[in-house]
C-alpha cells in the first residue's frame, strides 16, 4: 500500500467541452481519466464501506416519473425564491472542501461557473482558496458553509468575514461531528497533499488544551465528541448574525421538527454524501418524512446522489425546494474547470426542464409527489 497520495498525474483540465459529454452524469465517468486514483477514491468514497453513499444513488431508482399529456407548459420556468434570493433554477453547488485536489485554481473556477449559470454556490469552510477570493469570483448568489471551530472567536471570525465578503446566507453543517474514514480512500493510500491547505483557517487559534482522558474514558465520547456543537452553540450562532442560516445534515424527522422552530431559515436534508454515518439511510428515503415534520412551506434543500435533472425532479417531487450537487461539481471541475462545471449545470438544468415538460409541470410548485410512482424493481 502506498503511504502518500501520488503527485498529480492527471492530465491538465481541458479548455473545451468534451464532445463525449451528453448528460450531466457523463462527467462522473470521464473524471476517472482526470483525477489521480487516490484523490478520486477520496472524492468518490463514502465513510466505511460506502453503504450510505451507494444507497444515495440507488434510492432514485426506486421512483419512476409519470408523464402527462395535453398540458400547456409554454410559460414554464424553473424560478424560485430561497432565503430572500430569487434564483433562476433549483440546482445549487454544495459545499465541497479542498477543490485544489482536482484543479489548480480550485474554487475560483467553480465560482466562475456559478456566476455564468446564475447558480448559487455554497463555499466550504475548508476551501483551498480564501472565502474573499471566492466571493469576488462568484456571482450574486453565494452562501458560506460554516463548521463550528473549537474556539467561538474563530467561528465568529469566519461569520464576520463571510458577512463582509458579501455572502448572502450561512450554511451550518452539523452532521460531521467525527471524521469518518473512507476505507476506499485509506486503501488507495490517500493523504491530503500539502497544496490543499484550508485557506480560511490559516489564522485560526490553536485548539484549546483539553484535559487528558481519564482511565476508562472513551476516545470517542469523552474525547472526540467534546468538540461537537450543541444546541446552545447553535442558539449562540443564530444570535450573532442577521444572515439567513440554513442547517445542513438533517436526516431525522424529530431533529427537523425541532430545528424548524430554531430560527434557522431552512434545513438541508443530507447525509454528507454518505461520508459520515455509514449505514444511515439515503437522503431521498428520509425526505418525505422530514417534509411532513416541518411546516408546509418551510424551506428544505436536499443533497445526496443527485447526478441528473431527473434526480433533481424526484427530490423536488418528494418535498425539496431545490437540490445541491456535490461530487458531480468536482468531477466536472477536474475535466474542464469553470467550463466543465457550467456545462454540467446547464445539462442538468435542461434535464430537469425536460422532465418537468414530460410530466406536465410548468413550475416547480407543480412538481409534487403525484408526479412519481414506485418503480417496478424486478
Ligand X SMILES: Cc1cc2nc3c(=O)[nH]c(=O)nc-3n(C[C@H](O)[C@H](O)[C@H](O)COP(=O)(O)O)c2cc1C
Q: Is 252 a catalytic residue?
A: no
Among 305, 309, 319, 337, the residue binding ligand X under the rule CB under 6 A is: 305
The yes or no reply on residue 95 touching ligand X (CB under 6 A) is yes
| Coil, helix or strand at residue 144 | strand
Of 96 and 358, which CB lies nearer to ligand X in the complex structure?
96
The yes or no reply on residue 325 touching ligand X (CB under 6 A) is yes
The yes or no reply on residue 13 touching ligand X (CB under 6 A) is no
The yes or no reply on residue 35 touching ligand X (CB under 6 A) is no
Of 119 and 145, which CB lies nearer to ligand X in the complex structure?
145
Residue 268: name the closest of 93, 102, 97, 58 by CA.
93
Q: Using DSSP bridges, classify how beta strands 300-303 and 322-325 pair: parallel, antiparallel or unpaired.
A: parallel
Q: Cβ of residue 349: shortest distance to ligand X, in angstroms?
A: 16
| Main-chain phi, psi angles of 376, to 5 degrees | -80, 110
In whole angstroms, give the CA distance from residue 117 to residue 78.
13
Q: Could you tell me the three cell numbers for 222?
A: 469523552
Q: Cβ of residue 125: shortest distance to ligand X, in angstroms?
A: 6
The yes or no reply on residue 306 touching ligand X (CB under 6 A) is yes
Give the binding range for ligand X (CB under 6 A) out of 33-41, 190-198, 269-277, 366-374.
Answer: 269-277
In whole angstroms, give the CA distance from residue 163 to residue 325.
24
By rule CB under 6 A, what string of x and - marks binding of each residue 97-136 to ligand X? x--------------------------x-x----------
- Residue with the shortest CB distance to ligand X: 326
b/e map 87-125, b = 16+ CB within 10 Å: bebbbbbbbbbbbbbbbebbbbbbbbbbbbbebbbbbbb
In whole angstroms, give the CA distance from residue 356 to residue 359.
5
Q: Cβ of residue 362: shortest distance to ligand X, in angstroms?
A: 27
Residue 175: name the closest of 232, 107, 118, 229 by CA.
229
Give the binding range for ligand X (CB under 6 A) out of 16-24, 30-38, 239-247, 267-275.
Answer: 267-275
Give the binding range for ligand X (CB under 6 A) out of 11-19, 184-192, 230-238, 299-307.
Answer: 299-307
**Residue whose entry in the numeric block shows the C-alpha cell 471524521:** 179
Please give the positions annotated as active site: 272
Residues that bind ligand X (CB under 6 A): 43, 56, 94-97, 124, 126, 145, 173, 248, 270, 272-273, 275, 303-306, 325-327
Amino acid at each position: 500500500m502506498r503511504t502518500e497520495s501520488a503527485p498529480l498525474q492527471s492530465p491538465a483540465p481541458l479548455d473545451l467541452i468534451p464532445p463525449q459529454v451528453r448528460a450531466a452524469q457523463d462527467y462522473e465517468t470521464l473524471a476517472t481519466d482526470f483525477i489521480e486514483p487516490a484523490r478520486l477514491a477520496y472524492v468518490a468514497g463514502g465513510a466505511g464501506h460506502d453503504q450510505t453513499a451507494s444507497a444515495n444513488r440507488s434510492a432514485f431508482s426506486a421512483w419512476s416519473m409519470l408523464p402527462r399529456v395535453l398540458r400547456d407548459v409554454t410559460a414554464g420556468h424553473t424560478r424560485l425564491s430561497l432565503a430572500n434570493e430569487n434564483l433562476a433554477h433549483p440546482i445549487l453547488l454544495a459545499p465541497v472542501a479542498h477543490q485544489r485536489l482536482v484543479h489548480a485554481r480550485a474554487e475560483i473556477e467553480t465560482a466562475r461557473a456559478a456566476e455564468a449559470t446564475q447558480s448559487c454556490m455554497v463555499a466550504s469552510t475548508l476551501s483551498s482558496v480564501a472565502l474573499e477570493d471566492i466571493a469576488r469570483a462568484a456571482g450574486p448568489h453565494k452562501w458560506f458553509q460554516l463548521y463550528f471551530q473549537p474556539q467561538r472567536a474563530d467561528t465568529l471570525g469566519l461569520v464576520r468575514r463571510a458577512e463582509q465578503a458579501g455572502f448572502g446566507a450561512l450554511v451550518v453543517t452539523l452532521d460531521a461531528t467525527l471524521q469518518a474514514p473512507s476505507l476506499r480512500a485509506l486503501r488507495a493510500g490517500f493523504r491530503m497533499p500539502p497544496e490543499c491547505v484550508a485557506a480560511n483557517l490559516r489564522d485560526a487559534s490553536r485548539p484549546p488544551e483539553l484535559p487528558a482522558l481519564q482511565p476508562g474514558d472513551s476516545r470517542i465520547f469523552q474525547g472526540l465528541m467534546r468538540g461537537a456543537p450543541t444546541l446552545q452553540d447553535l442558539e449562540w450562532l443564530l444570535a450573532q448574525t442577521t444572515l439567513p442560516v440554513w442547517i445542513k445534515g438533517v436526516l431525522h424527522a424529530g431533529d427537523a421538527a425541532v430545528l424548524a422552530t430554531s430560527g434557522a431559515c431552512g434545513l438541508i436534508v443530507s447525509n454528507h454524501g454518505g461520508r459520515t454515518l455509514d449505514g444511515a439511510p439515503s437522503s431521498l428515503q428520509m425526505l418525505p418524512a422530514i417534509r411532513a415534520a416541518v411546516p408546509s412551506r418551510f424551506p428544505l434543500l436536499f443533497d445526496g446522489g443527485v447526478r441528473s435533472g431527473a434526480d433533481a425532479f424526484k427530490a423536488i417531487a418528494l418535498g425539496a425546494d431545490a437540490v445541491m450537487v456535490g461530487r458531480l461539481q468536482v468531477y466536472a471541475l477536474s475535466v474542464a474547470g469553470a467550463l466543465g462545471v457550467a456545462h454540467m449545470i446547464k445539462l442538468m438544468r435542461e434535464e430537469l426542464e425536460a422532465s418537468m415538460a414530460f410530466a406536465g409541470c410548468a413550475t416547480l410548485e407543480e412538481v409534487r409527489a403525484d408526479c412519481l410512482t414506485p418503480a417496478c424493481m424486478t
